[in-house]
Amino acid sequence: MNKEKRLQLIKEIISGEDISSQTELLQKLEEKRIKCTQATLSRNLRQLRVSRVPGNSGKLKYILRSGEHAEHIDQEITDIVHAVVDTVWAQNMMLVKTLPGYAAAVASHIDRSSRIEIAGTIAGDDTILLVPNDNYSRKTISKVLKQVLPGVQQNVK
Amino acid sequence: MNKEKRLQLIKEIISGEDISSQTELLQKLEEKRIKCTQATLSRNLRQLRVSRVPGNSGKLKYILRSGEHAEHIDQEITDIVHAVVDTVWAQNMMLVKTLPGYAAAVASHIDRSSRIEIAGTIAGDDTILLVPNDNYSRKTISKVLKQVLPGVQQNVK
DNA sequence: AAAAATAATGTATATTTTTGCGTCATTAAT
DNA sequence: ATTAATGACGCAAAAATATACATTATTTTT
């Protein structure tokens, strides 16, 4: 089982070419030796907030909602992560502290992960306010952030 | 037969409330004495570039695609209200999404209303976090915002 | 004004997506 | 170390959407 890898690949594929059905995406994944069922894809796409929109040609295609213009997340991850200094919970929201001037970059990175668990972020200079969507626990959010910002230590409680 | 009217109504309905299926939309239309079939809706939605996206709650909903907003971007915004793209509730706070770069201006506008119901706002580039004071309901806050930013459509639920 | 071309629509159906449920795996709690 | 809780997944069925085809309306051309 390698969900993370699959999610990453899904993002890459749909932002790289026009995919119009889950079955089609399934095949593309299979070419990369990643197998799952269409049902799983349906769930994954929701989690990534991928949506199917009428493209310019009129044909339907999948797009990353918040990451339309952005490139996929790649090697830079590790760099960005180093800017994170601390994470704190308050009022059911997470405060992510960064090195001065890095908040925007990290927030943008979080935004582009398009995770459904996150309602939105607001970045100042060295602090990010991360607002979870309703009904997601701190624990869940922490997990998500762990995926989005691998290696960052978190104070869950 | 009155396609134009129907298209207009579709836009109004889906931007005013959360609709999650064409059948549901069909019923809303019928309430307004506009009748057609699901097949026609499917075609109309494509024409309007409406798409179905996983909303914050995880549930699917129809939205008018960014083409609209994109047009706005080039234009000069005369009324600050027009910069507001969407409002979302999460964690008992309201997220006000704006066109890129407009959050500060809109937030400032909200602040200057000095409404007691609002504890404060924090603005990023295109998102405002509006923090209500304790013991004010979502509904109340929505009403306040309606007064402060007249004409902005809100999804209360 | 008739004919021809184009657009809109409904019906029935095909295609696609979503979901309830059972199972197995992973993680947390006792 | 067990047991409980959570998450991921496949399968199959349900739900939802898209479309081929036929028909009717609308517009354009002659």
Residue B13 pLDDT > 60, yes or no? yes
Residue B24 pLDDT > 60, yes or no? yes
Mean pLDDT of B31-40: 92
Q: In what order do the strands lie in the sheet with A60-64?
A: A60-64, A50-54, B50-54, B60-64
Q: Please report residues contacting nucleic strand D, using a CB cutoff of 7 A.
A: A 1-3, 6, 35-40, 43-44, 52, 60, 139-140, 143; B 1, 21-23, 38-39, 42-43, 45-46, 52
Q: What one-letter code names the amino acid at B151?
A: G
Per-residue pLDDT of chain A (157 residues), as tens digits, is: 688 889 889 988 887 788 999 999 999 999 998 989 999 999 999 988 888 988 766 788 888 775 433 333 333 434 577 777 667 776 677 888 777 778 888 888 888 888 888 888 888 777 788 888 877 878 888 888 877 886 654 444 3
Cβ atoms of A49 and A122 within 8 Å: the answer is no
What's B80's DSSP letter? G
| Residue B84 to residue A151: CA distance in whole angstroms | 36
Cβ atoms of A123 and B124 within 8 Å: the answer is yes
Model confidence pLDDT, tens digit, residues A66-92: 543 333 333 343 457 777 766 777 667
Partner residue opposite B90 with nearest CB, options A53, A54, A134: A134
Using a CB-CB cut-off of 8 Å, the residues of chain B touching A131 are 90-91, 93, 95, 129
Q: What one-letter code names the amino acid at A137?
A: S
